[in-house]
A and B are shown apart, each in its own frame.
Chain A
Amino acid sequence: MQKKSGSETGGQGYVIGRVEPPDTGVNTWMTYRSIYTSNGVSHNIQRLVAQPKLSNSPLANTGSRIITYGVNWAAGTENLIVSTAESLAGNIPGASLVLSVYDAIRSFISGLSTTTEVSAPNITYTWSNVTTATFIYVRLDTESDDAQQLSSISTKTVTAVGYDIPKFNYKAVNGSWVLFPDIIQGKRTIYATPSRYANIADAVDAYNGLYPCPVQNEVYNIKISGPESKNVEVMWPCNPNSPLDCEW
């Protein structure tokens, strides 16, 4: 478990001794050591990385929701999944995903176009979100582990969103409505990684007082919406302040 010396250093967080990974069993913890030199000064870096191994970990999040629709759409005009993710710095570019109804179903139905009228009374969305948390501890290479300071906390997430359309109708070329004879299931994966995730240079700069310490680059929320811009879910991944926050 982590040890704290208890003394605080000039508003720059707590001085933390040599850090050992927690071991409550819900996460896999990995630790790495490296040396980073900045302006001719060598810093000793310890990275502590947590990934969930059980679904009851605060770093894992699952759920599902059935959305009901009452109107027909043109296949190309509505989106089956739209996702965005935000960090405290704003939108995370790589996490934006748009999947149109047409793109999701065109491989199943031949002759479909973006203007084909379609209807899906119910769509079930199921999601599984996994957060990786990285804590970076910094000290001068000449110091002992007792001088280590938590200088960076960052998270990234992988979210798989599954969709399940048990009943799907479309208007054939002759104008008659056709029930697609099977269930349509699929999934998309959303990767949300803040641009400064686990950045050692930032951690060292924070340690040296250039940023508030610890510097934080965490995924704040992930939004998923479906056709007609109906909200499916807003996920709030774990935003830990210490390794123990990842454990319960």
Chain B
Amino acid sequence: MKDLLKSRAAGIVYIVIAIALVALWITYLNRWNIALSSIDFSPSATSTVCEGFDANGDHYRVVTCHESLALLTENGFGWWKASLVSNPNSQDGLSRISWMIPASIRYAEDGSFAPDWEFHDVYCGNNAAGPVSPITAKLPPNVTVNVWQSGSSYLLHFISFGRESPLSGLSVGELLQSVGAIS
């Protein structure tokens, strides 16, 4: 009788472990969707704007869902975590996310040297009153921009290289207003 109870208990333990492993495996397979849901981003409505490897060598993705932006980073075990989340602000209706990556080391002829950066700035909104692409004519030198627009919804991804960001302190909202893209 005792042996029967023991083997039954062992069987139950094995079943529980097996269920836990299956649950963990299913969770792991859905880790990306779970990370998005944790920040109220619908996986089906989320699209990736940019992905790469950050200064720590970690895989990151910048995603947009409706008019919000998020930067997610993958840890060594493959789990994703949102590092930054931005929602449209009440002043200009823009969400914004920015990050920077060491790009290279610039050596001068006199032997001095300094690291260069790769600057990324992403903006999105759903308040366009006209095309946003004319903003490209207003940008400082050495800035590239990818523009997506569909009706009133738009997304701008600025990239620049160098020692200082040419866009730092520049109001993208005001630039969009100056070209009549937003009111």
Q: Which of A127, A185, A187 contacts B98 (CB 8 A)?
A: A185
Given A62-B55, A64-B54, A128-B102, residue A182 in contact with residue B86 (CB < 8 A): no
B-contact 0/1 string along A108-151, CB 8 Å cutoff: 10000000000000101011101000000000000000000000
Interface membership of A60, Cβ < 8 A: yes
Q: What residues of chain B lie closer than 8 Å to A130, measured between beta carbons? A: 105, 113, 115
A166 near B163 with CB under 8 A, answer: no
**Other-chain residue from A51, A52, A179, A183 in contact with B121 (beta carbon distance below 8 A):** A183
B164 contacts A186, C-beta separation under 8 Å: yes
User: Do A164 and B98 touch (CB < 8 A)?
Assistant: yes
- State the total of A-B contacts with C-beta under 8 angstroms: 104
- Chain A residues with CB under 8 A of B99: 64, 124, 126, 164
Interface residues on chain B, number (Cβ under 8 Å): 36
Cα distance, A114 to B107, chains bound together (Å): 37
B119 close to A (CB within 8 Å) = yes
Q: Which residues of B contact A107 (CB under 8 A)?
A: 169
User: Which chain B residues lie closer than 8 Å to A126 at the CB level?
Assistant: 55, 99-102, 117
Inter-subunit contact A185/B114 (CB<8 Å): no
Q: Per a CB cutoff under 8 Å, which of A63, A108, A178 touches B169?
A: A108
In the assembly, what is the distance between CA of A166 and CA of B98, in Å?
Answer: 6
Q: Which of A60, A162, A178 contacts B100 (CB 8 A)?
A: A162
Are A179 and B91 also in contact (CB < 8 A) when A167-B96, A186-B168 are?
Answer: yes
Since A55-B102, A158-B114, A164-B99 are in contact, a sample of 12 more A-B pairs with Cβ atoms closer than 8 Å, ordered by chain A residue number, is A62-B55, A64-B100, A126-B99, A126-B101, A130-B105, A164-B100, A179-B91, A182-B96, A182-B168, A183-B98, A185-B100, A185-B164
- What are 11 of the A-B contact pairs (CB < 8 Å)? A62-B56, A63-B55, A64-B101, A124-B84, A124-B99, A126-B99, A126-B101, A127-B55, A128-B115, A179-B89, A185-B119
The 4 closest A-B pairs by CB, nearest first: A128-B115, A128-B102, A64-B55, A185-B168
